[in-house]
Amino acid sequence: MTPLEALKRYFGYDSFRPGQADIVDALLAGQDVLAVMPTGAGKSLCYQIPALLLPGVTLVVSPLISLMQDQVKALSTAGVPAAFINSTLTDRQIALALQRAAEGSYKIIYVAPERLETAVFRDFAAGAEISMVTVDEAHCISQWGQDFRPSYVKILDFVAGLPRRPILSAFTATATREVQEDIRCTLRLQNPKLLATGFDRPNLFFAVEHTRHKDDYVIQYLREHPGESGIIYCATRKNVDKLQQLLAQYGFAVTSYHAGLPAETRRKNQNDFIYDAAPVIVATNAFGMGIDKSNVRFVLHYNMPQSMENYYQEAGRAGRDGLPSQCVLLYSAQDVVINKFLLDRKDFAECEPEDAELLHQRDLQRLQTMERYCQTTDCLRNTILTYFGEHPTAPCGSCGNCSGDYEEADLTAEAKWIINCVAELRGRYGKAVVLGTLQGANRARLRELGADRMKSYGKLKGTPRETLDRLLAQLLNDGYLLQTKDQYAVLHLGDITPLQQGAQVLVKLPPRHEPEHTPAPKPKRSSMMDALTGAGLELFAQLRQLRFDIAQREGLPPYIIFGDKSLADMCLRAPQTQQDMLSIYGMGERKYEKYAAPFFAAISAYCAEHPGVALSLPSAQEQPAAPAEKPTKSGKAPKVDFYLTAEDAKEFNYQDSYSGAELKAALVEAASTPNVKAPTIKAIEEWLYHERLISMERFPKKGFYYVPTPAGVDAGLRSVDRVTASGMPYSVLDYTPDAQRLIVEHFIKMKPEENSST
Ligand code: ADP
Ligand code: MG
């Protein structure tokens, strides 16, 4: 069997990833290896494939029990005979495992470093045919690293005591030169093949969100990513507890993890996360080492981490399966304050005073790096890669800053007007009144307050609302303005005196026109998921449930049965034959025998229930550039999202009050353009939510309804009280003419850019 055949047969993959084949070849040729590859790059296969093909057994030294158990489960489901030896086993179990190992029952044995020193293990090793010793997470051997494990140093003694020197291979994701040199020397690697793949993780999307409303952001994010698995990192245990409780109140299945929880609770919560019983976990940075969960779709940082090393390691836990995944850092100026505070209290008691000072300086520098990452308008991916010593050229085109296309604008003059307006209103009103005044809105409410007679009235009439929102956010962030925390969120002047002469307010904005001569960004990477239609996504959800049920029955983490990517591939190709099914991504022979049948059944049932349905469409990139009028399969011209022209807006039938459904009907009535999709009430409500004009109220058991925020009331939204069939009070939104106007204006803005050819 060749390495490629083994890759396909056991793991169901068609090709090696960058670097893997070189490592496998070197090991099979008997050469030592030291490989530095980022998290998720696929280090395990680099030693598992040779282990399968070499005679005898491979010992894998691994620092974490959970990690070993996970790997052994994954190998067993793939049909590779493997075992682990660690402190979770009784002496009897260990003796039994070693006896079977001596009989040659296993190709791979995972072992905790402490076990190597025990007499039983040494006895076993003396008589066994050990072809290779692999050191995973090899940076634990280095005293330079943060994760130094004294027992790792003993690996060398163990190897030296073997009757025949095995091939040695070491793997790590930590890149610094010192650590690499340490690994090499401590393990006495002989003329090793050194391999460091790039640090880029192309499937990760990086973004920084400047927001003071982190809770709202997280809630909204989870609503937009239902059923997805993710980690939310917080700086402190207190934040973890608070956020976890809040999210649970909102009905999300979240668990938590930090060092303050009892060991038993920690273990249970971690398992709930791994087994997708609670797909989202809120945690401090104590969580994550040894978590190889492959389908983590997002990592949110509720607070800014203390260093880029920490950030990349934590964020890197997203997307191990190679599917697009998001890493979003929520930033507020407060984070810097918290971190400085934490650093000032850090205890250097065990160091010499000079060293303590040096270490403190280094910590502050790391913090500054993170601060710059949060503030930069450059490509975020490149900022990270540059920090790790790479030299990327073109912007990546697929991080928050690249796709946001920010441009820094000097908005000092506008900032002064906002501050003046808040002063003129004597700090008694919220955002809607302040911005309405500055934009010269013709609202009864403003006339009633006398705002239309103020100096600032209409002074920023020409400035787009989005710009004002960003500017206001920044003024709040910078402390020029403050917002009360009660439900009215009144704006008033901050502790910092109004802008002094020469002070500048720079704000990141999306550009109004194409940037001139920036290098062309790399093309956006499309994914299997992007190609799935609504039906395809529905089937995906069904297969995911099926996987969950099987996993529950077998007591395995779901991703060990099939990764998300395998499920997506099944939806994409709707396999009909054994041949089709075996060519699915990640479908090894053993997995085919064990698990394929129910998936076959589910797919054909779905297709039978929905005859002729398209599960996927070619992704936008693969589609040839076509004229806008190209007919779709159904023979109709493609639909564009709903919008109104200025002419349509005049036709809109304003009424004293509209429900959501009535408003939708009136919008459709006013629109003159053919080929627009009807607007949905959901989309309207989501926009209002995003604008913070409405907020969510929770039903006691499940679900949400919306109520206007004070700003929403200002903008003309009302709530009408109702009662559910079971007697539960709730309310529905009602749109007065002011609110109707707001929605009409919103849809005018949704009009697509004119096409130059039309
Ligand atoms: P690392 O140890 O480098 O962090 P893993 O070994 O855990 O990463 O691999 C991450 C994921 O990538 C796993 O789900 C693994 O199955 C997958 N993978 C590894 N190699 C390949 C490959 N050649 N093709 C497809 N998927 C792969
Ligand atoms: Mg690994």
Residue range 95-104: mean pLDDT, rounded: 93
Least confident span in 55-69, 122-136, 242-256: 55-69
Centre of ligand 2 to C-alpha 331, Å, is 30
- Which has more confidence, 633 or 269? 269
Q: How confident is the model at residue 360 (pLDDT cuts 50, 70, 90)?
A: confident
| Closest residue by CA, ligand 1 atom 21 | 42
- Whether the per-residue pLDDT at 620 is higher than 70: the answer is no
Least confident span in 15-29, 340-354, 425-439, 577-591: 340-354
| Residue 229 CB less than 6 A away from ligand 1 | no
Torsion (CA) 351, 352, 353, 358 in degrees, nearest 10: -70
- Whether the per-residue pLDDT at 66 is higher than 60: the answer is yes
Contacts of 699 (CB under 8 A, 6+ apart): 705, 724, 728, 730
| Residue 10 CB less than 6 A away from ligand 1 | no
Least confident span in 258-262, 363-367, 696-700, 715-719: 696-700
Domains and CATH numbers, the chain: 3-196 (3.40.50.300), 204-387 (3.40.50.300), 409-469+492-509 (1.10.10.10), 527-609 (1.10.150.80), 646-748 (no CATH)
Q: Which residues surround ligand 2, an ion (CB under 5 A)?
A: 43
Closest CA to 572 of 613, 531, 511, 624: 531
Residue range 266-271: mean pLDDT, rounded: 93
Report which bound ligand comes closest to the CA of 75: 1
| Residue 591 CB less than 6 A away from ligand 1 | no
Contacts of 133 (CB under 8 A, 6+ apart): 58, 59, 60, 61, 155, 158, 159, 166, 167, 168, 169
Return the pLDDT at 31. 96
Return the pLDDT at 352. 67
**pLDDT tens, position by position, 338-354:** 887 777 777 666 666 66
Centre of ligand 1 to C-alpha 258, Å, is 27
Contacts of 5 (CB under 8 A, 6+ apart): none
- What distance in Å separates the CA atoms of residue 315 and residue 325, rounded to the nearest whole number? 10
User: In the chain, pLDDT over 90 holds for what percent of residues?
Assistant: 43
Return the pLDDT at 591. 92
| Residue 172 CB less than 6 A away from ligand 1 | no
**pLDDT tens, position by position, 650-673:** 889 888 888 888 898 899 888 887
* Mean pLDDT, all residues of the chain: 84
Counting every residue written for the chain, the total comes to 758
| Residue 600 CB less than 6 A away from ligand 1 | no
Query: Could you tell me which residues are beta bridge partners of residue 111?
Result: 61, 85
- Whether the per-residue pLDDT at 437 is higher than 60: the answer is yes
- What distance in Å separates the CA atoms of residue 173 and residue 176, rounded to the nearest whole number? 10
Centre of ligand 2 to C-alpha 43, Å, is 6
Centre of ligand 1 to C-alpha 658, Å, is 54
Residue range 524-534: mean pLDDT, rounded: 66
- Whether the per-residue pLDDT at 488 is higher than 70: the answer is no
- What distance in Å separates the CA atoms of residue 624 and residue 602, rounded to the nearest whole number? 33
DSSP code per residue over 344-355: HT---TTS-HHH
- Which has more confidence, 92 or 751? 92
Return the pLDDT at 145. 59
- Whether the per-residue pLDDT at 57 is higher than 60: the answer is yes
Q: Ligand 1 test: best mutation among 48, 320, 559, most atoms within 8 Å of CB?
A: 320
Are 433 and 454 in contact by the 8 Å Cβ rule? The answer is no
Q: How confident is the model at residue 485 (pLDDT cuts 50, 70, 90)?
A: low
Residue range 465-492: mean pLDDT, rounded: 76
Helices marked H in 103-176 — which ranges?
119-127, 150-153, 155-160
Residue range 145-153: mean pLDDT, rounded: 77
Centre of ligand 2 to C-alpha 595, Å, is 25
Return the pLDDT at 756. 42
Are 374 and 208 in contact by the 8 Å Cβ rule? The answer is yes
User: What 3-state class would DSSP assign to 322?
Assistant: coil
Closest CA to 473 of 712, 749, 213, 207: 213
Task: Label residue 417 left, alpha or beta by phi (over 0 means left) and psi (-120 to 50 means alpha).
Answer: alpha
- Whether the per-residue pLDDT at 757 is higher than 50: the answer is no
Q: Ligand 1 test: best mutation among 13, 70, 567, most atoms within 8 Å of CB?
A: 13
Q: Ligand 1 test: best mutation among 9, 11, 591, most atoms within 8 Å of CB?
A: 11
- Whether the per-residue pLDDT at 436 is higher than 70: the answer is yes
Rounded to the nearest angstrom, the gap between the alpha carbon of residue 397 and the centroid of all alpha carbons in its chain is 17
Find the farthest-apart pair of alpha carbons in the chain and give their distance in angstroms, rounded.
94
Report which bound ligand comes closest to the CA of 563: 1
pTM of the complete model beyond 0.75: no
According to DSSP, residue 17 is labeled: P
Q: Ligand 1 test: best mutation among 9, 23, 44, most atoms within 8 Å of CB?
A: 44
Return the pLDDT at 345. 74
| Residue 45 CB less than 6 A away from ligand 1 | yes
C-alpha gyration radius of the chain: 29
Residue range 192-200: mean pLDDT, rounded: 87
Closest CA to 684 of 750, 617, 729: 750
Residue range 406-416: mean pLDDT, rounded: 84
Q: How far is CA 524 from CA 204, 399, 402, 431, in A?
A: 12, 10, 11, 37
- Whether the per-residue pLDDT at 279 is higher than 80: the answer is yes
Return the pLDDT at 701. 45
Return the pLDDT at 215. 92
- Whether the per-residue pLDDT at 27 is higher than 90: the answer is yes
Residue range 672-680: mean pLDDT, rounded: 80
Return the pLDDT at 514. 36
Host H or E run for residue 16: none
Q: How far is CA 302 from CA 225, 237, 395, 723, in A?
A: 17, 12, 26, 37
Return the pLDDT at 148. 77
Q: Ligand 1 test: best mutation among 7, 17, 36, most atoms within 8 Å of CB?
A: 17
Return the pLDDT at 232. 98
Host H or E run for residue 297: strand 296-301
| Closest residue by CA, ligand 1 atom 20 | 42
Residue range 424-432: mean pLDDT, rounded: 87
| Residue 44 CB less than 6 A away from ligand 1 | yes
Q: How confident is the model at residue 518 (pLDDT cuts 50, 70, 90)?
A: very low
Return the pLDDT at 108. 97
Supply 142's token pair.
């280095």
Return the pLDDT at 223. 86
- Whether the per-residue pLDDT at 523 is higher than 60: the answer is no
Question: Averaging pLDDT over each range in 10-24, 374-388, 445-459, 696-710, which range is the top one?
Answer: 10-24
User: What 3-state class would DSSP assign to 2?
Assistant: coil
Contacts of 443 (CB under 8 A, 6+ apart): 436, 738
Q: Which amino acid is at 136?
A: D
**pLDDT tens, position by position, 282-293:** 999 889 877 778
Report which bound ligand comes closest to the CA of 6: 1
User: What 3-state class would DSSP assign to 217?
Assistant: helix
- Which has more confidence, 376 or 662? 662
Contacts of 11 (CB under 8 A, 6+ apart): 45, 78, 586, 588
Question: Cα angle vertex 289, ends 588, 95, to 5°?
Answer: 70
Report which bound ligand comes closest to the CA of 45: 1
- Which has more confidence, 183 or 699? 183
- Whether the per-residue pLDDT at 633 is higher than 70: the answer is no
Are 87 and 65 in contact by the 8 Å Cβ rule? The answer is yes
User: In the chain, pLDDT over 70 holds for what percent of residues?
Assistant: 88
Least confident span in 82-96, 199-213, 510-524: 510-524
